[in-house]
Structures are given as structure tokens and as C-alpha cells.
Chains A and B, each alone.
Chain A
Amino acid sequence: MNELPKMKNQTAKIFCGLLLALSAICANAQDAAEDAAPATVLPTTYEAMVAALPEASYDDKELLLQKISQSGNPQAPNLLHALLDGRLMATEAGKVYISQSSDEALAAKNLSDAITGAAVTGVNAESISPIGTNNRLRKGLRALCAQLDLASADADARSKAVQSIMRDLDEAGTAALRARLPLEKESSIQKSISSALALADLQSADANIRLAAVETLSGDISSEVYNGLTTLITKNDDGSFTEPDLRVRTAAAEGIRKIETRRKAYGALETLFFGLSLGSVLVLAAIGLAITFGVMGVINMAHGELIMLGAYTTYVMQLLMPQHIALSLFLSVPAAFLVSGLVGVGIERGIVRFLHGRPLETLLATFGLSLVLQQLVRSVFSPLNRSVASPEFMSGSLVINDAFSVTYNRLYIVFFMLIVFAALQLILKRTSLGLKVRAVSQNRAMARAMGVRTEWIDAATFGLGSGIAGVAGVALSQLTNVGPNLGQAYIIDSFMVVVFGGVGSLWGTLISGMSLGVVNKLLEPWAGAVMAKILVLVFLIVFIQKRPRGLFPQKGRSVEN
């Protein structure tokens, strides 16, 4: 790495200050820094090492951390974990604290002293900042943490530590595992330690040990095992096998075959989930349109912008309550429904109403409106994307096994879509508003003759569809950028889903969104993301030729005219 010479100099100066060394030593050290790394002046006591951390260069931090991990101080594991998670805070004056949260707004609330472990209160949030780490340091830290965690009282932490050591198996890690195995009481952890050790044994010089290792590893589908076994059966450049023993090779080949079969099955499951989750995003975006376009027959090109307004509502809600990200997200759902719904009612009363029965003009007017809304957002919120934070429960993934895991945000959005869909069905099928909406959409004149105020029903329907679009925006804010162009990305897809599903059918929208999602994801690995999209569009064009009314066409007299 090309270290900048200036940095070395600075570190040397800072170290001198920290050590409170005599001025003579300081001068010497600084001279030394011109040609050698300043590592020679690292402190030795735990307190001094911790105090030196905030200002140390990355190279020195690595050395310091190694010493800290070997110090045996009871606070050391805590400190290393805190640094890894960005929770180790330092003040300008060089005091070091461990915080419970890496979130800047909350960091000052639960502090403890990094040296004594005692709780600390009354520290100004402005005065502390996290101690920086870089990739190399984090990698080293992870290994150190894992080795320390092997002795942790918490079985979960021990199990994670074994996994982490197994991923980057080196001699230090193997030695730590070997030392731990006889002490370990938990059988599941014993098992994973044995498989990690078996993985190391694959390099053993004794063919019998290698064979035993291959047998121990059978049934494990992690990629480390797969790679370990694959190296056993690969040929060298001269055609000879790297593994001389035939028995080991046969066993390894059998193990690989097993892993591949299971992986294929999990791969299919994964693709299916990806498809369903893409599908649920499509359904969310399209279902509002299924009401305005499907039920009312209005081509609303500003639908995407109503989604965008919902996403911006989430952003504003988060600005209003920065301390409660999860709560603000839940409150955003009704708020976004109201904002987009009201804008929708405004659009209906102000524009669409006057263009009744003139689809081309409606299309142009709402398209113009979509540009107006975009530029409006650009002027109010700036053209830059806004950052919407995800609450803790929305990040990370549910790991089912090494070959199959499901990301939480996608999983929740699938459920969220189902809830929205069910609620909408309830409104349309079980409420008096729903009854009137269906009546008006089937036969406007007859409904009016029965005393339904069609004008208000139109406005309410449009508002409902628009509100649902806003709710979709809340979900999308967790997946993608919140910016002025958010809506444009979804408008085409939304129309596609509604037309494919059959205009006017909510169930059709659900089925078509889900199947388009799955088809897209099936095609993607095989044809690439761009080609997959094109193929889906081509398929749709052909399909619409054959069945112009979509998957679930509306039946009855009203359709005929």
C-alpha cells in the first residue's frame, strides 16, 4: 500500500503526545518516523492502548488490536465487537466509550467506559464520533473477535465464531478450534467445529485422515466444503490428480454430487422467492392502477408520481421523528394513503372529470401532470435522491442454510402486499362504498337512476386507487431510491400488469403480477436482466393478440359496449 508520507509523520506526532513521553524521546521517535514505521512506540498497558486507538493509523490500530485481544482484559471482547460494529466512540480529548448503538442520534444515550465497563451518562452527543476502520482492519477484527468468542458463555456467539473462522481458515484459527473442541459442551457446536477441522484436514499428508475428513464433511452444503472437495478432484496441468489416493477421490466426487443436487433444489426455491418478491412489488405498484384504470377506465399517467408522493411522505415522516424509524414507517402507511389519496381526488375533480370518455385527452393531461409533479418535487426537495433509512428489522436476511436465505425486507413486502390486497378486496366487496363503486363501473346510468351520486363515487374511487399507490410508495422507499424519477420506473410495469391480468379484475392483477415476476426471474439468469425484460414484453404483446382482454376478462353486458 502506498502510504502517504505525511500520514506517518502525523501519527508519530500524535503518538508522542499520547504517551506523554519526554521531549527527547519524542524527537527521536519523530526522526525515526522518517524512515521506519512508528510501531516501535506503541503503548503496552491496556488503558494506554485503548487511549491510543482513536488517533492511531490503520497499521498501528491493527497491532494495537492484536495486543488488546491478547491482553485477557475482560473488556477486550466487548471493545473489539464495538469497534467492528462502529459503536466504539471517542471524544476529541481522547476518551473512549462503548455505545450500544451505532446510530448517531442514539449513540450518546447508552455509553459505557471502554476501560472499566462502567456506565457513563451526561456525554454530549455532539462531542463523540465513531472510531474509523477500513476493510483490512475489519477483516482482522473479525478474526480476532471470532477467536475470542470461542470462549464466550453465549452458545450463539460461539456458533457464529466457528462459522466465521471456517470461512477464512488459517493456522491460527485451526489451532484455536482444536483447543476449543475438548472444552465444548454444546453438541451442535461440537459438530461444526469438527467439520471445520475436517476441512483443514483435507490438506493433511495422511490419506486416511483425508478420507475420514471427506466422510465427516458429507452432508454439509456450505461453499467452503464444496470448494475444498472440488480441489481434491481437479486435475493438475500435467493430467495427474492433485489427490493421489483413489478412495479419497471417489468419496469426494460422491460428496460433490450430493451437494450439487441439494444446491440445485435450493437454487430453484431461491429463484421462486425472488420471483414472488419482484411480483409483489409489481402488484403493489399496479393495484392502485387496477382501480383507476381497471374499474374507472381512466388512463392515469400520473400514477407513478402518486407512488413517488407516497415515498416522499415516508421521507417527511422520518424527518419528523428521527428517533423512531420503525414507528415512522408504520405511521407513513396511513399518511401516504391520505396524501396520495387527496392528490388523487384533486386530480379527478380538477382534470379527469372534465375529460370523461375522452381517453386520449385524459392520457395527455395526466402525462403533463406527471411532469408537473416531478418538477414540483424537484423544486421542493431538490433533484437529489433523499435517504430513507430502513429500520433494523428490515435489514439482513433469514438464513435457512448456506445455499438458501431470504432477505427480510423482501419477505415483509410480500406480506405487506397480501395485506393491502386483502384490505382492498374487503373494501370493494363488503362496504357500501365498494358496492357503489362496482355499480357505477358496471352501469353508470343505471346506478345514477338508483340514487348513487356517481360524481362523488368517481372521486372516491380515484382517491382510493391513488391512496393505494401512495401506500406502494412507502414499500418502495425501502427498496429503491426516493427521488423525483421514482414513479417513471414503475408506470410501464404497472400498466403491463393490469393489462395482462385483465382490466377490472383485482385477482387478475395479483396473478399477473406474481407470474410476470416469476417469469422475469426465471429468465434473468439465463438471458440477462435486459433481455429478460424484453422477452417478457414480447410475450405480453403476443398474449394480448390472442387474448385482448387479459387473463381474467370481465364478463357481462357492461363489457360489450
Chain B
Amino acid sequence: MKAIPMIRRALLSAAAAGLLAASSLAQAADTIKVGVLHSLSGTMAISETTLKDTVLMMIDEQNKKGGLLGKKLEAVVVDPASNWPLFAEKARELLAKNKVDVVFGCWTSVSRKSVLPVFEELNGLLFYPVQYEGEESSKNVFYTGAAPNQQAIPAVDYLMKDLKVKRWVLAGTDYVYPRTTNKILEAYLKSKGVKAEDIMINYTPFGQSDWQSIVSDIKKFGSAGKKTAVVSTINGDANVPFYKELGNQKISAEDIPVVAFSVGEEELAGIDTKPLQGHLAAWNYFQSIKSPANKVAIDNWHKFIKNDKRTFNDPMEATYIGFNLWVKAVEKAKTTDVSKVSDAIIGLETPNLTGGVAKVLPNHHITKPVYIGEIKDDGQFDIVWKTKAEVPGDAWSDFLPGSKDLVADWVTLKCGNYNTKTKKCSGQNF
């Protein structure tokens, strides 16, 4: 899809160069290149295509405002096709061949892990916009999505305090994000006095579609007379049959609420929301939040994508915040040089879409508010709870034995995993 315009662009610029020689060449070199590394085909295309469009929209808006440092921004879009090794190749292509100044990209943790060495080797700059399991802080990456303490822990707090939940089902898809998050949650729940017999942990393969026995187990687990809730890190696709089965086995949100960390507006747009009504989701942003900035962003998005029905979701907001922060940092540093921008960006603030402020912390994470929403029958969320203030992202969880003593600080310690006990930086960059 992208090949034709690129060829055309190449031909055009060659023709223009022939005609106007020096002047046009100077202009062609005078753009700031922004790499977009999101899958446009394969399994992850469902989620990542939207983020590519978000970056393009932001670039478009910035160019209308007159560009950056007097130069126009130019998007370089590549398609890593949901193929993890290909992510690394495409990242290398963006950094070494296209010489982009910044990259917005990745969704799954495995794709981020795969590009990490490339960004560190070639000193690139990556903005990662999705909630993830934490336990990482790279010199070359800024994490604008939520760390576990900005999504999972507050959600569990809400269930424990407001819904008086006593028994917990931690259900997830079998890969790194749910496994780590559930490990953190299990340690957290136990630290709050929840007994081991009141926690049920269940993992399912990707794309699980037969939920009969698992839902039946959850039902049995939940019928012990104590308020039970499901904390779901089930990956996007498997959610629909899961909720359908809950509905069919007559488990309503009033009996056993499910709080999900990966079900958002975009995922709900494609499905019949009747069986999901009343179940919960925890995010740092919901489309239904009323704020002037949110309204403007949604209107712009609808205009850009030319479809009023399209939804706006949390990773899109994270992309929006990341882009604005990068623009501010470049303006502050007066250059796009990666090291200078990375230094300049720390401490910068930009308004988020929910009426608060996102501030970049020395550990390369940002501050985010946490919201709990109840799914309504139109696929939007009713906000039932929010944190009083923005929560600072914590790269290394305080509830895991291995990472309790680790801190990330790229200002004073210049280290992504500094051990406060041994007073040593592991030497690893991430």
C-alpha cells in the first residue's frame, strides 16, 4: 500500500531536483523525519493501524501550525506486519537508512523488547504508547502508556475498597504482560491480607474461544458466599467469547464484575456489547470523559479520519501526549538530537485529554490519572471512579521480590536499573 506513494514521491523529487536543482534539494533535506513503527497487517493490525493514523494526524496538525524549528515534519511509515523479528529490521531501516529523528511505535511487549537493542545501538528515540508490565526503563525509550501501578494496582484498590471484593480471579492470556501483571497483583493482594485460597489464577492461550469450563470454574469459585471479582488481562480477541460465555452462563456484572485492562472503546466497537454491560475497565483515558481538550481531540480525529463513528482510546491519548511532549522537548532543546531531546524532555509537562497534566519523570515514564469505567450498552464507558491526582509511573514494581530495590533515574543516577541496596547500576541499559 505504501510502496506506490513512496515511489511516486521519489520520482517527483527526482524530477523536481532536475528542474530546480539546488533550491529544491535544500528543501527536501529540511524536513524533520518522524518514524511510525506500527503493524498495518497481521494480527496486531486491528489495534495498531489506529495509532499510525493518530501519529499522521498529529504530524498534519503540527505542520499546519508551521512545523517544528521552522521545518516541516515528514512521516516515514513502515509496516512490521505483526512479526516480532521484522520489528527489529524495520527499526534499523528507520534509524540507519531513513535517519528518522524520532519513532512512535510498537504495541506488544515482545515487539518492544525486539527493537530495544536496535534503538540502544543506534541511539534512536522511541515513544511507546501502550500500557505494559513495567520492569524496564531504557535510555532510548519513553513510556507514555501506563505502568502496572498506574492501572492494575488502582483498579484492584477500587474493587477492594468500593466493591468490597474478597475473592479474586486473575485471568489472563498466556504471555509476558499478563504473567508479570498477575505476579505483581498476587504479591500486592497477599500483602493486603488476602489468603492464597481466595486467589484463582488462570491462563489461556491466545485467541481462546472455548471458555465453557473456565467460566464454569469462575462461577463455582464465586459462589462461596464472598464477593468475587475477575481481574482480566485477557488479550483483545479472546474477550468476546469470554464475555459471551459469562452472559450465557448467567453471570452478571452485579454478581461477579470483570475488570479488564485491555478492553477499550476500539475493541468494543466491533462487538455486540449487550453481554458486557456493567463490566469494568481500568484506563488512564476514556472517550466519554468530558473535557474541552478531549472534545477538540475527538473532533479533529473524526475530521482527519473522515468518519464520525470512529472511537478514540487510551493508547491514542498516550500517542497524543507522547507526540506533544516530543515537540515541546525539541523546541526547548532547539535541535532534534536524540541525547539533547532526551535530556530536555524530563520534567516537561503537557496537558492530557482528561483535564490533567502529564509530566515526564526521570525514569522515562509519565504521570497519569486512573479511571474505572463501567461498560454501557453503546460501547462507551460510564466513569465510576478516578484517582484524586495523577499517579507517577513506576518502572520497577515495589511488589516483586526481584525489582523491589531497583530504581530508574536518568537525571542524577544516569541508570535504568539502579539497585538501592548494592548501590550499583547493573550496567545494562534497560
Contact = CB atoms under 8 A, between A and B. Distances in A.
A409 B244 CA distance: 10
Most central of B203, B214, B254 by chain A CB within 10 Å: B254
Contacts, number: 136
A135 B374 contact: yes
A407 B257 CA distance: 20
- Say which size band chain B's interface belongs to: 35 or more
Interface stretch (B41-49, B64-72, B329-337, B410-418): B41-49
B209 A489 contact: yes
B304 to A, nearest CB: 17
Nearest to A517: B210
Interface stretch (B13-21, B108-116, B190-198, B380-388): B380-388
Contacts of A529: 202-205, 208, 214
B295 interface: no
Interface residues of A, number: 59
Interface stretch (B99-107, B144-152, B216-224): B216-224
Contacts of A349: none
B241 interface: yes
A135 B46 contact: no
A2 B216 contact: no
A142 B203 CA distance: 33
A378 B254 contact: no
Contacts of A132: 376, 382
Contact of B46 (A409, A480, A483, A530): A483
Given A132-B382, A134-B374, A396 B248 contact: yes
B207 interface: yes
Contacts of A525: 213, 217
Contacts of A407: 212, 245, 248-249
A242 to B, nearest CB: 13
Nearest to A375: B41
B270 interface: yes
A525 B217 CA distance: 8
Contact of B271 (A135, A224, A387, A530): A387
A159 to B, nearest CB: 16
Contacts of A524: 213-214
Given A481-B241, A530-B205, A397 B253 contact: no
Given A132-B376, A384-B270, A480-B209, A528 B202 contact: yes
Contacts of A227: 223-225
B180 to A, nearest CB: 16
A389 interface: yes
Nearest to A141: B254
A270 B220 CA distance: 12
A533 interface: yes
A135 B253 contact: yes
B213 A385 contact: no
Contacts of A135: 253-254, 257, 278, 374
A277 B278 CA distance: 28
B12 interface: no
A14 B374 CA distance: 23
Contact of A395 (B216, B247, B254): B247
Given A227-B223, A533-B205, A384 B385 contact: no
Given A134-B374, A524-B213, A397 B224 contact: no
Contacts of A476: 209
A279 B203 CA distance: 21
B249 A1 contact: no
Interface string B362-400: 000000000000101100001111101000000000000
A390 interface: yes
Contacts of B213: 271, 274, 521, 524-525
Contacts of A270: 216
Most central of A230, A410, A483 by chain B CB within 10 Å: A483
B77 interface: no
A91 interface: no
B386 A2 contact: yes
A17 interface: no
A134 B382 contact: yes
Given A378-B45, A489-B207, A2 B388 contact: yes
B17 to A, nearest CB: 34
Interface of A: 1-2, 4, 6, 86, 102, 130, 132, 134-135, 138-139, 142, 223-224, 226-227, 230-231, 270-271, 274, 277-278, 281, 375, 378, 383-390, 395-397, 399, 405, 407-410, 476, 479-481, 483, 485, 488-489, 521, 524-525, 528-530, 533
19 contacts: A1-B162, A2-B388, A4-B383, A102-B274, A138-B254, A142-B254, A224-B225, A227-B224, A378-B45, A384-B266, A385-B237, A389-B272, A390-B272, A395-B247, A397-B249, A407-B249, A476-B209, A525-B213, A529-B208
Given A390-B272, A483-B270, A489-B209, 17 more contacts: A86-B277, A130-B377, A134-B384, A223-B224, A224-B225, A274-B212, A278-B210, A375-B41, A383-B45, A387-B271, A395-B275, A408-B248, A409-B244, A479-B241, A485-B237, A521-B212, A529-B202
| CB-CB nearest 3 A-B residue pairs | A227-B225, A223-B223, A480-B209
